[in-house]
Chain A
């Protein structure tokens, strides 16, 4: 514990305050071209025609890349885990969100690149877009994804992330009250001060050096190598200096297309997104729709929870199946509920694809479950701290995915919160510990639900 509470020097502190930190945009190489993208101007459309000949002929333009230039067009960030790919690097048959990249131009300067991107002839036939995840299941909803309107490839080809534990029917039969709530946190853009940026330099030995703002260097390495169909040793990714990420730089957003343009032109290529692109086209935290119905006794025990989650994935899957899985494991929050019935869907819409942001998948469910705990207390006329302590995770309790808690902190945290808010707890709660529930402290509904932490 030498580091906790100590004043430690930052390895990059002096560089930051003297302006010497080298972010991707600060790297200088001779002969560098600037890239600009042609992006979809609409939310959903079939691509009827794409003609880049005029752009290619413009003076100062060195490369225009489209889907035809990508050796492996579809590769998913979770392909290495066996999750199939659904998203083309550059749009081919259709566009599914406003801002989806269709072509990338590399030219002598930004103005020329932008003018050339504007000169690309694009023929689109617009379709009716889908934005509301609640309407995705309707029979007359627009069909917007080749897999259907929700992700169908969870284990055993299930179309949902499902958790079943105990007997939900028994819990609802025994309940004094059913407490229901619907929670809908919105999308959030990460807004890093440094926009998405990559600089790719073709080296004389045939390798590409990729300067990347990524938070996930090995994702970028694998994703670029797969799309380009080159072995990993043909790429050198230089990362580690990120001008703010917050989850938004986990997706490989700019490196791959920059690499293709560098390879095609034989020149170093930098692609730095504008702030407008960052807001409109970079991935965001997902909007979620969560419905909770809890079977509760009048003294505040939660016997069972039914929950439905719709996770807005945007136009493609990316990391969303992983985010929803984490979400499902945390859907009881910091509390123990023995009988569970959870269904979660990764739903496609014609929004920009969503991604990680600070507690991927968990922040949303924490918002819902904590609000719901207070709602239970309010509806029953109980103290919200005491309802939390009553149901708090204790040693030997088990999580929705049957992990045994050996070091739970709920009791300590809720008591500290009450103390900080000058709330006086009843004696039963003030003396509560996180010890395993036994004897009088073991309520009937948790009998048979506890595990021995020694066994795990």
Chain B
């Protein structure tokens, strides 16, 4: 079986009934999709399969032979964040970070598919994603700003990778 993950072609050795989550995490070492429940209930394992958000924990890899898979690693890099990553950073939409990967790719698919900044529509699009930290408000704000195509000055909200102090608060 073959998969293209974030633009890189891979030959997959795992059995066809292995979950896509298992293949990504354990065979290919791509760890942004999380094993939150492995029952399709929490959304933390969501990735894009041919552009559509899919629960990687419920997707048998044999069923998507030849597909293009996108994870958060394929959206942007720390040096060049994609617009949805910038929006989540600016709005502090990631708290513990465990649900964030799934939220980001679902938001990416929503806006690519013509989604607007209407809160009810965003809630509908992200309804399958559980977050226990934020209370969702900041996530919805971030997706709305992303849908509007806003640009952000991240010089105060972002920090360079590896930064471990509180910026100007010392």
Contacts and interface: CB of A to CB of B under 8 A. Distances in A.
Interface residues of A, number: 37
Interface in A4-34: 6-23, 25-26, 28
A11 B169 contact: no
Q: Which of A3, A6, A9, A17: most chain B CB closer than 10 A?
A: A17
B136 interface: no
Contacts, number: 130
Interface stretch (B60-68, B94-102, B109-117, B119-127): B94-102
Contacts of A195: 36
Interface string A192-218: 111100000000000000000000000
B167 interface: yes
Interface of B is mostly: loop
Nearest to A246: B132
B96 A18 contact: no
A17 B163 contact: no
A192 B98 CA distance: 9
A19 B94 contact: no
B31 A19 contact: yes
Given A9-B158, A9-B159, A244 B85 contact: no
Contact of B72 (A3, A19, A194): A19
Contacts of B2: none
A28 B35 CA distance: 15
A274 B88 CA distance: 28
Contacts of A20: 32, 73, 78, 161
A245 B131 CA distance: 12
A274 to B, nearest CB: 7
A453 interface: no
A14 B156 CA distance: 12
Contacts of A21: 97
A28 B29 contact: yes
Interface residues of B, number: 49
A12 B72 CA distance: 16
Interface string B64-88: 0000000111011110010001001
B168 interface: yes
A2 interface: yes
Contacts of B77: 18
Given A18-B85, A193-B36, A194-B34, A13 B168 contact: no
A9 B85 contact: no
A209 to B, nearest CB: 19
Interface in A168-194: 190-194
A19 B32 CA distance: 5
A23 B34 contact: yes
A316 to B, nearest CB: 26
Contacts of B158: 9, 13-14
A11 B131 contact: no
A275 B39 contact: yes
B98 A8 contact: no
A29 B76 CA distance: 26
Nearest to B154: A9
Interface in B119-170: 130-133, 156-161, 163-169
Given A8-B168, A193-B36, A275-B41, A14 B78 contact: yes
Given A9-B159, A194-B36, A2 B168 contact: yes
A242 interface: yes
A272 B35 contact: yes
A142 interface: no
B9 interface: no
Contacts of A13: 89, 92, 94, 157-159
A243 interface: yes
Contact of A23 (B98, B133, B160, B168): B98
30 contacts: A2-B168, A6-B169, A7-B156, A8-B156, A9-B166, A10-B92, A13-B92, A15-B161, A16-B88, A17-B81, A17-B89, A17-B100, A18-B77, A19-B32, A19-B101, A20-B78, A23-B97, A192-B98, A193-B34, A193-B131, A193-B132, A194-B98, A195-B36, A243-B34, A243-B97, A243-B98, A244-B98, A246-B132, A272-B35, A275-B37
In order of increasing CB-CB distance, the 8 nearest A-B pairs are: A19-B32, A243-B98, A16-B97, A19-B72, A9-B159, A16-B94, A275-B37, A26-B31
Interface of A: 2-3, 6-23, 25-26, 28, 190-195, 242-246, 272, 274-275
